[in-house]
Amino acid sequence: MADQPTPLMPHATASWLVDNTALSFTQIADFCGLHILEVQAMADDLASAKYTGRDPVHSGELTHEEIERGQDDPNYRLKMQKAPVDVSRTKGPRYTPVSKRQDKPDGIAWILRNHPEISDAQIGRLIGTTRNTINAIRDRSHWNIANIQPKDPVTLGLCSQRELDAAVAKAAKRVAADAPAEDEAVEMEVPAAAPRDDKQALIDELRREREEATKAAARAAQEAEAEAWLEAKRAAESKGEQEVDPSSL
């Protein structure tokens, strides 16, 4: 039989099946995608965490008839009646644990000081804050401004290094894209009587800044991509080390 989806809350579902049915531990483990020893621990009250049972019949993942078939035949494999719907978070402010929220102003102040090119909208998504808070810190009208100390938001745990690098790279690209418009504005503002050499020097300086911003954006994007690849590799290696051979149990 092809692999089938597991319940939305496998441990809670297994706990309910252990307490409310006569299904074998093997049947419960197979249906919930757990190791049989985990189910055995639940039955023996040895699990390190006590789970509140979740009724799979109420959720539509199983029916009473399906459970009865399993109870009548220990070799019967329970069939998922209704696959759980993936739960995705709706759009909204970035969630920050309560213990970290007091650090938000410090993280915002650090970004404003070290990366002024990052837009308020980007800061809001990175830190999970509002434009009013950002502006209050920027113009030093925040109620707690005397105690705000700029600190790296990555170190504070408010965002990941990859997210910060991506925001910096995006901001740098935006600055580079806006540079031609700035060139035109400068040309319009230079007095007609200004020496040609001064005007050309100013334009050349703006072009150099645009090229440096483009290079910085490319480097940041490459570093973010390398960091993502390294994290994926470490996660894969870690997962490989933690897998246990069931036959050795």
Could you report the per-residue pLDDT of 1-40, keeping only the tens digit for each? 447 888 888 888 998 999 899 999 999 999 999 899 888 8
Q: Where do the domains of the chain lie?
A: 10-72, 98-241
Which pair of structure tokens corresponds to residue 58? 């109420």
Q: What is the pLDDT of residue 17?
A: 93
Which is more confident, 128 or 84?
128
pLDDT band for position 48 (cuts 50, 70, 90): very low
> CA–CA separation, 235 vs 222, rounded Å?
20
Ranges 6-15, 86-95, 187-196, 236-245, most confident: 6-15
Mean pLDDT of the chain: 80
What 58-67 contacts at long range (C-beta under 8 Å, 24+ apart), as own/partner pairs, is 59/7, 59/8, 59/84, 61/7, 61/8, 61/13, 62/31, 67/17, 67/21, 67/23
Query: Does the predicted TM-score (pTM) go above 0.85?
Result: no
Could you report the per-residue pLDDT of 186-234, keeping only the tens digit for each? 555 555 544 556 777 777 787 888 788 777 777 777 777 777 777 777 7
**Mean of the pLDDT values across residues 73-79?**
92
Which amino acid, 68? E
Tell me if 156 sits within 8 A of 116, measured CB to CB: no
> CA–CA separation, 17 vs 43, rounded Å?
10
pLDDT band for position 118 (cuts 50, 70, 90): very high
* Closest by Cα among 144, 43, 1, 136 to 11: 43
Q: Indicate the range of 24-38, 75-89, 232-246 predicted with least confidence.
A: 232-246
